[in-house]
Amino acid sequence: TEACLKAIEGAGALNAFVHHTPEIALERAAAADLRLKAGDAPAMCGLPIGIKDLFCTKGVPSQAASRILEGFKPEYESTVSQNLADAGAVMLGKLNMDEFAMGSSNETSAYGNAINPWRREGADTPLTPGGSSGGSAAAVAADLCLAATGTDTGGSIRQPAAFTGTVGIKPTYGRCSRWGIVAFASSLDQAGPMTKNVRDAAIMLEAMCSYDAKDSTSADIPVPNFEAALTGDIRGKKIGIPKEYQMDGMPAEIEKLWADGAAMLKDAGAEIVDISLPHTKYALPAYYVIAPAEASSNLARYDGVRYGHRAKIDAGDGITEMYEKTRAEGFGPEVQRRVMVGTYVLSAGFYDAYYNRARRVRTLIKKDFDDVFAAGVDCILTPATPSAAFGLGEMTDADPIKMYLNDIFTVTVNLAGLPGIAVPTGTDAQGLPLGLQLIGRPWEEADLLSSAYALE
Ligand code: GLN
């Protein structure tokens, strides 16, 4: 813990941690020490971790990297961060992210960008660590903590993991309680660990998962010993390669990474089969209707009355002006865009044409996966991202769609509620990490982790 606190102090330029909690860390580390000495050490006893700013942490600023939550210190702890504390983990502080987890580059954060510790060979251009869990990925990659929490609504754990050479798993929807995690799109949001390797991911995921009556979508299903699944033996497993993920203009290095990954699994005894997920091409448009729709409704609660920031109002202003000014000042441009898109697709005249249609498409996407799994496929192998980490500003000056295209391989997994993991398996021509994604059957994280372990 002390070594991490020191490393964090020296790594201010990465802007990974946005709130430091050294007192809490040292207190929990001392308590962990006593438990270790007493021979009563839980799974993560004394392990220093970072917590994404989206998680409510009692008495500690929890702002979802938004101005609108300025000064908000929750009275309660999220179930997931409480589970981690109960497992002995030591919280070092809160981690940077895209505002309300909307983004793929950490550039929408009210705290400014977190920076990727990786650099292109021979170049100094600062790169994004990805997003929205960019601070978590940067902190783990730069050894500022042993692991971190992330959340994933459309790829926000897996894409930053791929951009930083770390491992990130989004479990099945319902595995981790969403209670106390600031909501973005409630039917898609899941928490998960970001770690240095697959074994750490297995250990931390197990500590994070639990049934929680306070989240109505939490699943009352036993949590297996995930670490025990890492036997290295994947003989006889069927791994599917979906042809629809073979996008036009895919960089040769991503194609090679994907082929190498398949070869590696085959060498380990798995059977590689071609599969089809025919509705894949509708996933991004469906996601970018459903996620903003849910966000616009979830973000209605930030009104300047109940939490955080309240705008100064002029004499004669009423409550409507107070709401408007607070929301105009408190939300950044990307969040405002999503609220507007979401409100539009939910409005009376357009609800059927957009929101309901997107929900029907979502059902078809889920059915594609159901069919493939019913045919005996255990896991699906795809690239995690269409490229390596990009430079700051490279995607933001164009239209927002360019940034949304980054989520092409990850959003299907959230729409279908499935577990997905990103594993670093190679580098691009400039030495930057690249990752592959494995997608598993619902509730089969153990199986998914075991295949990921073989790929690592
Ligand atoms: N990049 C996606 C978005 O902006 C995913 C975000 C996430 O998973 N939280 O919506």
- pLDDT of the residue at 405: 84
| CATH code assigned to 238-283+353-455 | 3.90.1300.10
Cβ 84 vs Cβ 50: under 8 Å? no
- pLDDT of the residue at 395: 87
Percent of the chain whose predicted confidence (pLDDT) is above 70: 100
- pLDDT of the residue at 398: 66
Which of the listed residues 52, 407, 409, 437 should we mutate to test ligand 1's pocket, taking the one with most ligand atoms within 8 A of CB? 407
| pLDDT tens column, 70-92 | 999 999 999 999 999 999 999 99
Q: Is the CB of 102 under 6 A from ligand 1?
A: yes
Cβ 208 vs Cβ 177: under 8 Å? no
Which of the listed residues 132, 173, 337 should we mutate to test ligand 1's pocket, taking the one with most ligand atoms within 8 A of CB? 132
Enumerate the H helices of 331-405 as residue ranges.
333-346, 357-374, 400-404
Instruction: Please tell me the distance between residue 374's alpha carbon and the centre of ligand 1 in angstroms.
Output: 29
**Topology match between the domains 2-229 and 238-283+353-455:** yes
Q: How far apart are CA 159 and CA 435, in angstroms?
A: 8
Percent of the chain whose predicted confidence (pLDDT) is above 90: 95
pLDDT band at 5 (very low <50, low <70, confident <90, very high): very high
Burial of 351 (0-12, 13-18, 19+ CB in 10 A): middle
Which atom of ligand 1 lies nearest, measured to the CA of 406?
A: 1
List active site positions. Answer: 52, 132, 156
Cis amide linkage into residue 62, ω under 30° from 0: no
Instruction: Please tell me the distance between residue 188's alpha carbon and the centre of ligand 1 in angstroms.
Output: 10
Q: Which residues pair with 60 in a beta bridge?
A: 57
Q: Between vectors from CA 150 to CA 291 and to CA 147, what angle results, nearest 5°?
A: 170
- pLDDT of the residue at 210: 98
- pLDDT of the residue at 396: 79
Query: Once rounded to an integer, what is the mean pLDDT over residues 315-327?
Result: 96
| pLDDT tens column, 393-443 | 988 766 788 788 889 999 999 999 999 999 999 999 999 999 999 999 999
Query: Once rounded to an integer, what is the mean pLDDT over residues 384-388?
Result: 96
The matching CATH number, chosen from 3.30.565.10, 3.40.640.10, 3.90.1300.10, 3.10.129.10, for 2-229 is 3.90.1300.10
Which atom of ligand 1 lies nearest, measured to the CA of 157?
A: 8
Residue-averaged pLDDT of the chain: 97
Query: Once rounded to an integer, what is the mean pLDDT over residues 27-34?
Result: 97
Q: Is the CB of 132 under 6 A from ligand 1?
A: yes
Q: Is the pLDDT of residue 248 over 90?
A: no
Q: Is the CB of 104 under 6 A from ligand 1?
A: yes
| pLDDT tens column, 169-187 | 999 999 999 999 999 999 9
Q: Is the pLDDT of residue 454 over 80?
A: yes
| pLDDT tens column, 105-146 | 999 999 999 999 999 999 999 999 999 999 999 999 999 999
Domain ranges for the chain? 2-229, 238-283+353-455
Residue nearest to atom 10 of ligand 1 (CA): 102
- pLDDT of the residue at 85: 98
Q: Is the CB of 450 under 6 A from ligand 1?
A: no
